[in-house]
Structure 1
Amino acid sequence: MESIEPLIAHIQGLSSSVDDISHLHNLLKQSEESLQSQAAGLAPFLEQLDPSKHSLGYLYILEAYTSTPIQKEQASEVVVFITNFINSCLAEQIRLVPEKFTCVCKRLKDQVLLLQAPVRGVGPLRTAVRKLQPSSEHLTALHPDFLQLCLLAKWYKTGLCVLEEDILEVDQPRDFFLYCYYGGMICIGQKLFRKAMELLHNVVTAPMSSTNAIAVEAYKKYILVSLIHNGQFSTTFPKYTSSVAQRSLKNFSQPYIDLATSYSTGKIAELESCAEANREKFEFDNNLGLVKQVVSSLYKRNIQRLTQMYLTLSLQDIANTVQLSTPKEAEMHVLQMIQDGEIFATINQKDGMVSFHEDPEQYKTCEMIEHIDSSIQRMMALSKKLNAVDEVISCDPVYLAKAGRERPRFDIDDFDTVPQKFNM
């Protein structure tokens, strides 16, 4: 069995210049089989290396060491090793072997889940994503794992910092599906339903050659979020949706489509009856909480309709019209909607009357102008990037041949509008 000491000496001596790193990389590749065969005894050698200087060599040894089955009592030690490495390593060195770095980071996720402490992996994986990314527009294989840990740890706001970035480059379709699905769930947790719809819509309409479980679960949540945010749902897919999705997603989601049909009647009793009839299915899918929000949103939707018909209305009349039990319940709903900016109204506590008003926003304040300007600048920058990508694709012979065959299938009206990132 080959001794590890000479390799450690090479790592310590060849981790400075670009030429040395290239030579070291070749030596490490030649030593992979030996490292794997001695994996269980590599921990002491990690202590001889500085991950902030010897990142490439440290990664090779750490990957081999963590490739063996890890017992629960060893998990904390492994988490510390990997966390320290992620925080200290040099991006330019670990990017030489991105697959190994990704593998080690995924093992960190596995260990924190084994320890039932997902929060311990959130910070390190966020750092790992940044170090692995060539640019903020690139989706890495670690994005889904980071978002999954944010979900499990309920650190939704931390996940949002990644979701706010525009992703323009994707290597693996599965990473994109999971990124959008977990991202949609994080946005639901923060009640950012517009952004959640955008992400779940991406999963449902993304190209797929066969039905996958991620798309099915995303479609179910997309139906619920559409009802909460828009008050309606259309079962018609955009034409650019894959034929597989158009054929199969509805078959797996019938209780959700039934719920949308009940919602469209505007009748609370009918909606509650449908929700109760399918309660077991919704609970099994972990969507019962969202279904309850759907039911609650119908009360709000019915109250919003009243604002279009009346200037003033008593709390008792509101309760009767939208099928709430008491005027007090109506008052709580109206107050919450005023606070959330969903309606504009005042309540006269003395006589229990509600006065509905027009939207007071005049779109002429300095803050609003700056908001609109920043949005325009972002759209202009995105347009330039899309034009650059379009120029590259337009020269690709494979694309041109395929586009020529499929051109008759589409026209400009087949494409739906892209949800924007701001409300006005």
Structure 2
Amino acid sequence: MEVIEGLMTQSAQLREAAYLSDQSYDRQIRENVASLRHVVSTKSLGAFASNDSLLDHFDPVADSLVYLFLLRAQIQAFQEQSREKVPAALLPPGNLWSRVVSYLRTFDPVPVRYAGQEWRQLIELVAQAAQVVSKHILAVRMVRDAMLRLDPSCAVFTSTHLLFVRLCLRARAYTYALPVLDKYVCHFPTSTSHPASKSSVLPCAAHDSSLSFITETSGISAKLTYKDYLQYFLCGGMVYMALKQWSKAARFLGIVISMPTVGPISMIMVEAYKKWILVSLLEKGKLSSPSNLISPNVVKVYHSLAKPYVNLAHSFQRGDLKHLEAEVDAARDIWCTDNNMGLVSQVLGAYSKHTVLGIKQTFAALTVKELADQASPVRMSDEATESVIASLIMSGAVKATLVQHSSQNSSTMLRFSEAHSLTQLSDESKTQTCLAWERQSLGTLMGHLDEISHHMELSDEFVDGMQKGQVWSNTGDVNPGIGEDTALEIDEDLMGEVS
């Protein structure tokens, strides 16, 4: 019981320190973290670690730091008792699971910045517990809310980003992923920071960006590799594809396929390229041009490894439905092996839509029968064709009207038209909303670019200072204010791949 009283005293001291200076608070919280880690590592809690009433002495909000360590101590005690990585006590809807749910939704993010490793391990255990009971959806919202609570911007890429998007895919909880996926990833955890002032070194201080406290040593993220980054954007693109948000899916997949590489491209990039081709057809009805960041040699490799997909795109663009269907049938095993059969089926279904949109550029009106003739050999009756057109009109994909004649022998007329006033007002409202969102996103990106320039010592103030202190000499002397170790080096092989 003395240990519990000691923890309560520490927590009370930390609450009092919150009203003092950042330096005092930082000093107190670091002492608390060191003490708590010692308590957990030496098992000073003893039998109390598995006592259900242990956490009743603390508040998950006011005592966030102590509560987090006690949760980890309890889980560790149950792990040792059951000899299981995910003990039964942690599985939903158990009492310990309920406490974890409550904590992740209400914890104070500032002190948790000092216990990033423990916070991340708790998140990972939550995901594993949901997987054990085959209910990934139970962990999706918890992980998302915890991420946004610790870092509302989600601008620094962490291992939790990838864990979260995988959970969303497995749970098919696609809309739950949007609050994280829609935010721009601008940074990786840094090994060191270059703060503007001494006070901003402290994790507890107010920061313009989470890059200042999410570092390689913070423990908030596990060690990252470039494959983690690729997998995040590939999985994110798959989420957008499931929601039929083709433009965002294309952007995510484009990030993957344009990843600079000095060696062979990875199979993750090839998989993303295959999906990118299909998404291009669904979004624009044609194969988009690859980004200029991708070297011609890499594009050739992509084409050779994704030849059936390229052939499918060419058949789609030529407007030859018979050839398109033949390409689909010929490579059916490939689509299934790549888990892209669903996308290919949607591409085949989108043929009518893009055909109608193409005809709209030439004709103001034509009969359904004439439309069927124009759309290459469509093997459908007039009634079936009319039904397809009606569905495209109702979905908003095509702005037109169908006019039926009183005579049953006359074919229905399709008239392309501009949207009526109500639809125009609706479109204008959507455009204004999109512009406002883009303006906000651009402002966020510009802020992160300024921060990157500062961390890379490329800011205007730094460059001006360098120019003022630069000493030009024919003898090749180095400016003593710079030093040889600070010279910028560029990997020529890497730059060659992105030229």
TM-score (norm 2): 0.70
How do 1:46-65 and structure 2 match up within 5 A?
A: 46=55, 48-65=57-74
Q: 1:262 matched to which residue of 2?
A: 315
- Per mean C-alpha deviation after superposition, the further-off stretch among 205-214 and 287-296 is 205-214
Alignment check: 8 A CA contact 1:203 1:215 kept:
yes
Contact 1:98 / 1:132 at 8 angstroms: preserved in 2?
Answer: no
State the match for 1:100 in structure 2: 118
Per-residue CA distance 1:188-241 (angstroms, 9 max, x = gap)? 12211111111111122134566444433322221111111111225x643423
Establish whether residue 116 from structure 1 lines up as the match of residue 170 from structure 2. Answer: no
- The aligned residue for residue 281 of structure 2 is 227
The CA deviation at 1:32 is 4.7
Residue 212 of structure 2 corresponds to which residue in structure 1? none
1:180 aligns with 2:233: yes
Q: 1:277 to 1:80 in 2, by over 3 A?
A: farther
Q: Which residue of 2 aligns with 1:385?
A: 447
Change (3 A) 1:70 1:344: same
Q: Is the aligned partner of 1:30 residue 2:38?
A: yes
Name which of structure 1's ranges 268-277 and 361-370 shifts more when overlaid on structure 2: 361-370
Consecutive unaligned residues in structure 1, runs of 5 or more: 415-424
Q: Counterparts of 2:298 and 2:372 in 1: how far apart (Å)?
A: 41
**CA distance in structure 2 between the aligned counterparts of 1:408 and 1:176, rounded to whole angstroms:** 21
* Kept after mapping to 2: 8 A contact 1:181/1:200: yes
In structure 2, how many angstroms separate the alpha carbons of the residues matched to 1:63 and 1:245? 47
The equivalent position to 2:185 in structure 1, one of 140, 145, 167, is 167
The equivalent of 1:355 in structure 2 is 415
CA–CA distance in structure 2, aligned partners of residues 183 and 207 of structure 1: 19
Post-superposition offset of 1:362: 7.1
Q: In 1, Cα distance between the equivalents of 2:367 and 2:227? A: 53
**Deviation digits for residues 46-74 of structure 1, max 9, x if unmatched?**
45543333322332343355454246744
* Cα deviation digits, residues 391-419 of structure 1 (max 9, x gap): 32363987943189987987xxx7xxxxx
User: CA deviation digits over 1:256-315, x for unaligned, max 9?
Assistant: 233223323221121222212222222233221111001111222222221122222111
Cα distance between partner residues in 2 of 1:181 and 1:22: 38
**Secondary structure of 1:103's aligned partner:** helix
Larger Rg: 2
Is 1:299 the equivalent of 2:352?
yes
2-structure distance, mates of 1:340, 1:124: 34
SS in 1 for 2:159: coil
Distance 2:171 2:391 in 1: 28
For 1:136 and 1:89, how far apart are their aligned partners in 2? Answer: 17
Moved more, 284-293 or 388-397: 388-397
What is the distance in 1 between the residues matched to 2:98 and 2:387?
49
- Cα distance change on mapping 1:377 and 1:261 into 2, 3 Å: closer
Residue 6 of structure 2 aligns to which amino acid in structure 1?
Answer: H
- Name 2:490's counterpart in structure 1: 402
Is the contact between residue 346 and residue 354 of structure 1 (CA under 8 Å) also seen in structure 2? yes
**Number of residue pairs the alignment of both structures matches:** 406
Match of 2:161 in 1: 143
1:112 deviates by 0.7
1:86-141 CA-to-partner distances (Å, cap 9, x unmatched) read: 12322112211212211211111111122111221122112111122164533343
Tell me what 1:417 maps to: none
1:422 aligns with: none
Residue 169 of structure 1: SS of its match in structure 2?
Answer: coil
SS at match of 2:398: coil
Amino acid at match of 1:59: L
CA contact (8 A) 2:261 2:494 kept: no
- For the pair 1:9 / 2:17, whether they are aligned, the reply is no
Q: In the alignment, is the contact (CA less than 8 A) between 2:278 and 2:343 conserved in 1?
A: yes
Counterpart among 325, 330, 340 of residue 380 in structure 2: 325
Residue correspondence of structure 1 range 236-275 to structure 2 within 5 A:
237-241=290-294, 246=299, 249-250=302-303, 252-275=305-328
- Cα distance, 1:383 vs. partner? 6.1
What fraction of aligned residue pairs are identical, expressed as a percent?
A: 22
1:312–1:202 CA distance, 2 compared to 1 (3 A):
same
RMSD across aligned positions (CA): 3.6
Aligned to 2:200: none
Structure 2 alignment gaps of length 5 or more: 15-24, 190-223, 460-484
Alignment-derived partner of residue 419 in structure 1: none
Q: TM-score, normalised by structure 1?
A: 0.81
Read off the aligned partner of 1:374 and give its amino acid letter: A
Q: Which one has more relative contact order, counting CA pairs under 8 Å at least 6 apart?
A: 2
Determine helix, strand or coil for the equivalent of 1:170. Answer: coil
Q: Equivalent residue for 1:421?
A: none
Give the Cα–Cα distance (whole angstroms) in 2 for the partners of residues 244 and 55 of structure 1: 53
